[in-house]
Amino acid sequence: MTQFFQQIINGLSLGSIYALIALGYTMVYGILKLINFAHGEVFMVGAYTGFYAAGALGVAGFEARNQGFPLYLALLVLIIAMAAAALLGMTIEFLAYRPVRSAPRLTPLITAIGVSLFLQNAGMLLFSPNPQRYPAILSEVRFEVFGVIVTNIKLTIFAVALCLMLGLHLFVQKTWTGRAMRALSFNIDAAKLMGIDTNRVIRSTFAIGSGLAAAGGILFGLDQITINPLMGVLTGLKAFVAAVLGGIGSIPGAVVGGLLIGLAEQLTAGYLSPEYRDAITFLILILILLLKPEGLLGIVRVEKV
């Protein structure tokens, strides 16, 4: 039984990270109807920015002295990583997606795949293909609760993910830009006619989504111990499936989807076989698209001819 709960806790923490990444996918798809394949790589760059920022702020010194990395520096690392990722996201949007925005659907899809491949391989060149140990931005503390082991890192993941998602929800509901985002996801042409600067709103969408992904990247590194330049490939794809599962275009959907995919993956790995942990995600994708294509929390869109 304890094994079951252990798998559940592990699944939920992994799922929270998927949820953070899925939010970026779902927001971009909601507006542009584009799968931003490069989002997984933004996640990777966020993790690496955190890695280098922590290094620059002297985390190695703290580790050697067995002291905890001060909280204010940890927050600084998070902010730097989120800002860098936001910048990267906006640059990708400007250079690669904006020129093909009006092209038939296939063109931006292929461009997105191209950007993703480019970032993966550039990452291999810049960051070295060796996996790197993630610095202890948060020192690890273990608790045992009824035989289930929980670390403070997992609790942090839940807390940070929850805060960011609440923050995003408030942003989308209460602020002007958030409302504009919702408007664009309904009908981009009408929004343009209403005088909304669509370019600015799209830029903000990319920036916010990328920032969230970067936060996910740092949390991932802390939890998974190592990072490598190809970490965004499979994780990004699973987060996309999570977004679809929850209902693409729906923010609460991305959260629900992320948690479900995380749980499914861990339970499959634990009880079936770890070899199928990736396959189960794709299977879920196929099933949901066949049975309920608008996702669990999504709205059915009627296609007008």
Partner 1 sequence: MRALIRIAITGAVLLAILALQLAVQAAFTEYVQRIVLLAGINVILAVGLNLINGTTGQFSIGHAGFMAVGAYGAAFVGVKLATPVHAALGPGVLADALIFNLALLAGALFAGVSGLIVGMPSLRLRGDYLAVVTLGFGEIIRILFNNATFLGSATGYFGDDPSGLPAYTNFFWVFAWAVAIIAVTHNLTFSQTGRSLTAIREDEIAAEAMATPTTRLKVTAFAISAATAGIAGGLFAHMQAGVRPEDFRFEKSIDMIVMIIVGGLGSISGAILGGIFVAVSLELMRDLQQYRLVLYALLLIVIMIVRPEGVLGTRELHHLFRRKKPAPPSPPSATPTEGA
Partner 2 sequence: MRILRRTLISGLCATALASAISCKKAGQASGADNTKDAAEIVIGHYASMTGSTAHFGQDTDRGVRLAIEEANAGGGVLGKKLKLVTLDTRGDSAEAANAVNRLIDVERVSAVLGEVASSLSLAGGRVAQRRKIPMISPTSTNPKVTEVGDYIFRVCFIDPFQGKVMATFARNHLKLDKVAILKDVKNDYSIGLADAFQKAFTAAGGTIVVEQSYSQGDTDFSAQVTAIRGTPAQAVFVPGYYSEVGTIARTADRLGLKVPLLGGDGWDSPDLFKIGGEAINGSYFSDHFAPDVSTAKSQAFVANFTKKYGQAPTGLGALGYEAALVLIDAIKRAGKNDPSAIRDAIAATKDFDGVTGKITIDAQRNPQKSAVVLKVEGGKAKFETSIAP
Q: Out of 60, 122, 140, 286, which residue is the one contacting partner 2 (CB under 8 A)? A: 140
Which ranges constitute the DSSP H helices of 65-187? 71-92, 106-127, 152-174, 176-186
Binding site partner of 103, from partner 2, partner 1, none, Cβ cut-off 5-8 A by kind: partner 1
Closer residue to partner 2, CB minimum distance, 125 or 193: 125
The residue type found at 213 is A
196, 201, 208, 231: residue in contact with partner 2 (rule CB under 8 A)? 231
Identity of the residue, 13 or 36, whose beta carbon is nearer to partner 1 in the bound complex: 36
Site residues for partner 2, window 77-136 (CB under 8 A)? 121, 124, 128-131, 133
**One-letter amino acid for residue 158 of the chain:** F
Q: Is 275 in the site for partner 2 (CB under 8 A)?
A: yes
Nearest-approach distance from CB 288 to partner 2, in angstroms: 23
Judged by beta carbon, residue 218 or residue 280, the one nearer partner 1 is 280
DSSP string, 52-92: HHHHHTTHHHHHHTTPPPPHHHHHHHHHHHHHHHHHHHHHH
Cβ neighbors of 217 (< 8 A, separation 6 or more) are 43, 44, 45, 46, 47, 48, 50, 81, 85, 227
Residue placing its CB nearer to partner 2 in the complex, 110 or 149? 149
**Nearer residue to partner 1 within complex by CB, 122 or 159:** 122
Please, what sign has the CA dihedral across residues 129, 223, 138, 71?
positive
Collapsing DSSP states into helix, strand and coil, what is residue 106? helix
Segment near partner 2 (CB under 8 A), from 156-164, 197-205, 221-229, 293-301?
Answer: 221-229
- Where are the alpha helices (H) located in 194-292, listed in sequence order? 198-224, 231-246, 251-267, 277-291
- Pick the closer one to partner 1 by CB: 113 or 170: 113
DSSP H or E stretch at residue 8: helix 2-32
Q: Of partner 2, partner 1, none, which one does residue 151 interact with (CB within 5 to 8 Å by kind)? A: partner 2
Type and span of the H or E element at 226:
strand 226-227
Query: Would you tell me which residues interact with partner 1 (CB under 8 A)?
Result: 29, 33-35, 96, 99-100, 103, 105-111, 113-118, 120-122, 125, 237, 240-241, 244, 275-276, 278-279, 281-283, 285-286, 289-290, 293, 303, 305
> Which letter does DSSP use for residue 131 in this model?
-
Residues 13-52, one symbol each (x = binds partner 2 by CB under 8 A, - = not), give: -x--------------------------------------
Q: d(Cα 248, Cα 253) in Å, to the nearest integer? A: 7
Alpha-carbon span 162 to 83, nearest angstrom: 19
Q: Which of residues 201-220 bind partner 2 (CB under 8 A)?
A: 220
Report the distance separating Cα 67 and Cα 81, nearest Å: 23
Nearer to partner 2, 198 or 228 (CB): 228
Restricted to residues 250-269, the positions that interact with partner 2 (CB under 8 A) are: 266, 269
Using CB under 8 A as the binding rule, the residues of this chain from 232 to 251 that contact partner 2 are 234
